[in-house]
Amino acid sequence: MASSSSLTLSQAVFSPSLPRHGSSSSSSPSLSFSTFSGLKSTHFTSSHRRILPSTTVTKQQFTVRASAAVETLEKTDAAIVEKSVNTIRFLAIDAVEKANSGHPGLPMGCAPMGHILYDEVMKYNPKNPYWFNRDRFVLSAGHGCMLQYALLHLAGYDSVQEDDLKSFRQWGSRIPGHPENFETPGVEVTTGPLGQGIANAVGLAVAEKHLAARFNKPDAEIVDHYTYVILGDGCQMEGISNEVCSLAGHWGLGKLIAFYDDNHISIDGDTEIAFTEDVSARFESLGWHVIWVKNGNTGYDEIRAAIKEAKAVKDKPTMIKVTTTIGFGSPNKANSYSVHGSALGAKEVEATRNNLGWPYEPFHVPEDVKSHWSRHTPEGAALETEWNAKFAEYEKKYAEEAADLKSIITGELPAGWEKALPTYTPESPADATRNLSQQNLNALAKVLPGFLGGSADLASSNMTLLKMFGDFQKNTPEERNLRFGVREHGMGAICNGIALHSLGLIPYCATFFVFTDYMRGAMRISALSEAGVIYVMTHDSIGLGEDGPTHQPIEHLASFRAMPNILMFRPADGNETAGAYKVAVLKRKTPSILALSRQKLPQLAGTSIEGAAKGGYIVSDNSSGNKPDVILIGTGSELEIAVKAAEELKKEGKTVRVVSFVCWELYDEQSAEYKESVLPSSVTARVSIEAGSTFGWQKFVGDKGKAIGIDGFGASAPADKIYKEFGITAEAVVAAAKQVS
Amino acid sequence: MASSSSLTLSQAVFSPSLPRHGSSSSSSPSLSFSTFSGLKSTHFTSSHRRILPSTTVTKQQFTVRASAAVETLEKTDAAIVEKSVNTIRFLAIDAVEKANSGHPGLPMGCAPMGHILYDEVMKYNPKNPYWFNRDRFVLSAGHGCMLQYALLHLAGYDSVQEDDLKSFRQWGSRIPGHPENFETPGVEVTTGPLGQGIANAVGLAVAEKHLAARFNKPDAEIVDHYTYVILGDGCQMEGISNEVCSLAGHWGLGKLIAFYDDNHISIDGDTEIAFTEDVSARFESLGWHVIWVKNGNTGYDEIRAAIKEAKAVKDKPTMIKVTTTIGFGSPNKANSYSVHGSALGAKEVEATRNNLGWPYEPFHVPEDVKSHWSRHTPEGAALETEWNAKFAEYEKKYAEEAADLKSIITGELPAGWEKALPTYTPESPADATRNLSQQNLNALAKVLPGFLGGSADLASSNMTLLKMFGDFQKNTPEERNLRFGVREHGMGAICNGIALHSLGLIPYCATFFVFTDYMRGAMRISALSEAGVIYVMTHDSIGLGEDGPTHQPIEHLASFRAMPNILMFRPADGNETAGAYKVAVLKRKTPSILALSRQKLPQLAGTSIEGAAKGGYIVSDNSSGNKPDVILIGTGSELEIAVKAAEELKKEGKTVRVVSFVCWELYDEQSAEYKESVLPSSVTARVSIEAGSTFGWQKFVGDKGKAIGIDGFGASAPADKIYKEFGITAEAVVAAAKQVS
């Protein structure tokens, strides 16, 4: 049933975000795929193929575009291009002016390249922004978002209508102050924090290259799209962009095409004051093909030729340096920082209208421009329809591959996948949770077709190698072990791009837990943009020993527990590690962090996957009536210590409950009844132990309880010695329990 | 009194750290300079000038070295060099072997360049590691710390004696698992997290270039040293290193010489798997002079020639790519990742001893090697003595400059400096704390000779320009406004280097508060390495408005409150901003973060510099007997809301105390009595309000109180609207107060 299977694929869309303002937007651990509402009226089944567009584009031209994946760069009448470009400029000017907030400079300068991309080059279906095989576009210079909103509006995306443009940057608007994938269908990733976008784009291009290598056949190029990105001077200065561009060159991402908006202006003025390196030479050193378009303001043919050249270079990513004038068209503010981040002001808007010969009212799109762009709706629908038919053919010939690809596209996990998770008994050998994690990773990779990932040059310490796969490299992109090198920040942001490429791509990435400090920018974007990346963070405490305080996390657990929409797991043993992975895989719109031990830990009695999924649960208890003398709470490697302390206290006749708090956020989601069953309000004698900051623990131990932890930096010595010297011991727990009970 | 003034300068040392394990090492807000204990017996007053060394070095040679600042690279007998280099290798091998933990590979490969630097090139005084005009050395590849420890040992530093080498990586050792400036005199900065060291080195070189430009005279080159750094492939891959090397090239830091240990091996194996860029070409694109030493294993003369060439290039930093063999000398493990991070093992140690012809016991330094290195003690003392005399001359001729430089060297702040801080009354105009911050910055720069800083391309938003100074640039290095470009991580780490260059250099740096996520790696090193950087973080909440959730901090206050040894300030108005700056300037061994508003705030009644310095204090209260009906706690922009809510509640007859919690860490340091006077334990009706995560607030509001905050992401809209929609209002406080009281 080709058409119905195509339909399923087309409907595989990211569910729009629930209202998320003001509260943590954690979702329940199950997947939901809502159908994009705009799909019904515009979706083309295979019976509707070859619908003619209503514009002046001829059937023949159109067929070429649809079937040859826009490989020819067609020239359109120069006048309409110019008019279209000015429409983009004034939509941006007008929206920023109405909001009295925003960044008009970039859209005014980048309108020509934006126009060429969306009108002449990219393949997309405006009525289904989630069509799988679309070209991806990322505005890494996210502050210039009005450029993208204007383009989405002209291209026919339902998400950006005229009323939306008028509500730019207002409460409840669908077009916020920076591009947000979870607010605006058609926006692929969330940008604004500079450098994230180019990194996401590398991730999108990695996903395409990987899937193309795995699924394309000589007779069926089923995965085939480009990733385009516009980045500015700010992105270029950020270290993360050098990290990811070095990897893009190394991996030979030939279908990644980056436009560098070289306008010589940043917020503080001319880039001369802080940025005088030779960017083109740097990119060449990183293994990129580099082209310079000297006149980005009006050199349309130069831009077109550059894209054509970029596409011809298949073994390298291309950077097209496009020299533009920021705020092009503004007679008094162009080429100055004053046009970067503020509305032009009524007077200068007027002057710019005069200067560019723009007689229209604010937000007006001239009819001929509208008409010119209107072909993208039928054209995009036809592109998708054609691809659907191709996929139906593919499915017939390559059933197994098609099933895997479908799972990756839709995010529907293979039935029974969770049975692959290992379980443990107290008799199972003691092991470090980093090793137990590796057992889980390898088990999951066998059953989840979209599971892939790697480490920032610590694979053998983080224990993250998938043993049945080789390395994803330039010439082996079908493999699933990613080698990120020592580039944590880039790694996290690349994984965001991979996760947001397809619902069923589940990327994990790894480093030492303390080095989350290097990639926190990307991790926050995972949380905000609902990218379900799994962060495998080993060496999670002073328990790593001799490497010392530079490598020993202290405040990191607390710092992530405070971050919205991210799950901070600290499993104590094998069952809890498996439980953490189970939730992490299910939560496709919430990233997860697993803090894992370097040192061996016993498999504890009473731990379970189900318990871990509740975040906090009772591991052992010798009391009755929900009224133990004391409650001992532990996480990770310290749960063992809590268990030992409980044994001591029990010997002395106390009733003791031991609670594992593997994930605070999941516990917070449980019902009041459940919480009362774990931490009864009448029992105020509570002691927590965790080899990290005590910050935040008062929430669970209460005014009368005691939190044992480490509120200074660690030390360089063997782990056992540090634990003893820092008082992270069963003796300390016993003493505290006696104090509080 | 030339000699006594010199003495004061020589004694200007960083006080060794107090024991800091297991507790937050916050010091009281006053400066203390302890004298380096090794100084007494070895310090040379001017009467001891020209002491002859006891080694074979002739007087003439020695005089050349001391007076010409080691401009000639002397060759020593090749055999003793080789033996010395092998001594370094085996000290590293033996220490790692004894600890059964550590990284022998780098020291074995880098021993030749290490030897040449410490024995032939660098000027330093081993008996006063804090001598101001010493050359600085940074091991950016900090895991190879045994290289530096071995060199310090041979050079005669008291901090690394034979017993220390034998206690490597053990509890209480003076030589921890990575180089830590606060543990090991002779180590300049704290490295290990990759990329930090090269960034610190850029900061050290900035400090030198700035001070030299400000204080050198045609007849007195009083500031004149090089900064050397060794970095590896790992450092090169990190984005931060590209950020800072781009700046180093831009600034033309001619006295920065970086050795790139090009050994082709990282933890995961050959660098081919993730790092194939052309590093030399990249550095050329960044404006560096690049030299390639092809044989770093035995090419001593090549290394010497490269250094000579590097010194001759005065307008560019130099990168010397030195191709080495990791684990050089180990017959079975050299040139493999297995020698990177583990002890060789007894068998391979034996094989290496045989291979390199090393018949000695572990930790043995042959007598001729000892004798060869022994000249550095008298030579270093003479260098310092000579400089002291030079400074005495300088002081006579240039009294004003000498006073400023002395303050910068010793960290002794000019008397009465704090009187420059502005104060405000409730009648003072309402203003954003970012603007009030600028008043403070400009006031401080006038009275503090070592005060300098800048922003990551947001000077006009962060309000950080020092109006009486120009920009620190290649040709105007005497100026004090640093233009970091959009390079937050590099900025923080450069400031660490500046702060650790001289006790009286007080660097500040600025960006939006949310972008601390980009530089958290450097900020944690500020805290750990006791670098008193001032972080000026504006746009501190949803109050920034339209830029939306990518730009709105939520969890950031909590995340820094949980970090050891860093002060997280959130001042509410002008007086509190001044109070925060007062403490931040005084706390030279604890970095401070100021979270500042974009929006205008009123000057509140009851706020004060003194109150702010206590961290938490009563702003208003209409109760008596320390028993208000309810306590309202606010920080920053929400203190105003708490005050408004109090007014409402008072109208209804309640007694209400308003408490400002401008800095939790300072409050935690106060006496129990003081805390009881602010938050009496009998008053459990407490409400806190802060436009950020409620995480951690339970500590102050208690089990029965209520914390008002934001536990999800923000939104893009005008600030007033967001505050209202998120319930950060006086009405919400009033309602909560009624609930809890």
Going from the C-alpha of B226 to that of each of A329, A356, B209, B213, the distances in angstroms are: 49, 55, 10, 14
Please determine, for residue A364, whether its predicted confidence score (pLDDT) is greater than 90: yes
Residue A657 and residue A618 in contact, taking contact as beta carbons nearer than 8 Å? yes
Strand partners, A567: A592
**Which residue in A237, A488, A561 is closest to B487 by CB distance?**
A237
Q: What is the DSSP letter of A72?
A: S
Taking only the tens place, the pLDDT of each residue in A688-725 is 999 999 999 999 999 999 999 999 999 999 999 999 99
**Residue of B401, B488, B576, B690 marked catalytic:** B488
Question: pLDDT averaged over chain A?
Answer: 91
Residue A33 confidence (pLDDT) above 80 = no
Proportion of chain B above pLDDT 90, given as a percent: 89
Q: How many CB atoms neighbour CB B56 within 10 A?
A: 11
Closest residue by Cα to residue B665 from B32, B31, B28:
B28
- pLDDT over threshold 50, residue A200: yes
Question: Residue B576: enclosing H or E segment and its boundaries?
Answer: helix B574-586
* Cβ–Cβ contact B250 with A under 8 A: yes
CB contacts under 8 A, A 162-191 vs B, are 169-173, 176-178, 180, 190-191
Task: Measure CA of the first residue to CA of the last residue in chain B; give whole Å.
Answer: 67
Binding residues of A for substrate: 103, 340, 434, 461, 539, 547, 551, 598
pLDDT computed for residue B26 by the predictor: 37
- B 531-560 → A contacts, CB under 8 A: 545-551, 554-555, 558-559
pTM (whole model) above 0.80: yes
Q: How many Å apart are CA B261 and CA A163, to the nearest integer?
A: 58
Q: Say whether pLDDT at A409 is over 50.
A: yes
User: What are the DSSP calls for B383-441, one per residue?
Assistant: HHHHHHHHHHHHHHH-HHHHHHHHHHHH-PPPTTGGGGS----TTSPPEEHHHHHHHHH
- Provide the annotated binding site of B for Mg(2+): 233, 263, 265
What is the reported pLDDT for A76?
60
CB A661 within 8 A of CB A692: no
- Residues B708-730 have pLDDT tens digits of 999 999 999 999 999 999 999 99
pLDDT digits (tens, 9 = 90+) for A597-628: 999 999 999 999 999 999 999 999 999 999 99
Question: Whose structure tokens read 């290195």?
Answer: B373
Could you give phi then psi for residue A508, rounded to 5 degrees?
-120, 155
Q: Is the pLDDT of residue A41 over 80?
A: no
Residue B267: pLDDT band with limits 50, 70, 90: confident
Q: Which B residues, 323 through 382, put their C-beta within 8 Å of a C-beta on chain A?
A: 337
Decide if pLDDT at B670 tops 70: yes
Size of interface A-B (CB pairs under 8 A): 386
Residues B355/B358/B363/B369 CA torsion (nearest 10 deg): -130
Q: Is the pLDDT of residue B422 over 90?
A: yes
Task: Calculate what percentage of chain A has a pLDDT beyond 70.
Answer: 90
B/e letters for A403-440, b = 16+ CB within 10 Å, e = fewer, are ebbbbbbbbebeeebbebbbebeeeeeebbbbbbbbbb
In sign, the C-alpha dihedral spanning A212, A218, A221, A226 is positive
* Structure tokens that stand for B361 in this block: 């016991």
Token reading at B461: 């938003």
DSSP three-state, residue B167: coil
The whole-angstrom separation of Cα B115 and Cα A222 is 59
Measured between CB atoms, does B268 come within 8 Å of chain A? yes
pLDDT (tens digit per residue) in B651-663: 999 999 999 999 9
Q: Which of residues 603-642 of A touch B (CB under 8 A)?
A: none
Q: Annotated catalytic, B555?
A: no
**B198: closest CA of chain A, how far (Å):** 13
List the binding residues of A.
103, 143, 192-194, 233-234, 263, 265, 340, 434, 461, 515, 539, 547, 551, 598
Whether chain A has a CB inside 8 Å of the CB on B246: the answer is yes
Query: What is the average pLDDT across A282-290?
Result: 98
In the structure, what pLDDT confidence band is assigned to residue A284 with cuts at 50, 70 and 90? Answer: very high
| B308-344 tens-digit pLDDT | 999 999 999 999 999 999 999 999 999 999 999 999 9
Give the closest of B250, B455, B564 to A713, CB-based. Answer: B564
Total residues found in chain B within this entry? 741
How far is it, in rounded angstroms, from Cα A546 to Cα B526? Answer: 21
Q: Which of B458, B517, B546 sits opposite A267 (nearest CB)?
A: B458
- Give the closest of A246, A276, A550 to B193, CB-based: A550
Nearest to A83 by CA among A356, A331, A269: A356
> Is the pLDDT at B27 greater than 90, yes or no?
no
- Give the pLDDT of residue A576: 98
Task: Give me the count of residues in chain A.
Answer: 741
Q: Is the ipTM of this structure higher than 0.90?
A: yes
pLDDT over 90 at A17, yes or no: no
Chain position carrying tokens 């008996």 = B127
pLDDT at B76: 60
pLDDT at A266: 86
Cα distances (Å, whole numbers) of residue A337 to A271, A319, A710: 10, 24, 47
Give the 3-state secondary structure of A609-667. Answer: HHHHHCCEEEEEECCCCCCCCEEEEECHHHHHHHHHHHHHHHHCCCCEEEEEECCHHHH
Minimal CA separation from A65 to chain B, in Å: 36
Phi-psi region of B448 (alpha: psi -120 to 50; beta: other; left: phi over 0): beta
pLDDT at B555 over 70: yes
Give the residue-averaged pLDDT of A112-129: 98
Which helix (DSSP H) or strand (DSSP E) does residue B455 occupy? strand B451-455
Please state the rounded mean pLDDT for residues B510-520.
98
* C-beta separation of B382 from B62 below 8 A: yes
Residue A542 with chain B: CB contacts under 8 Å:
none
Classify residue B327 as left (phi > 0), alpha (psi -120 to 50) or beta: left
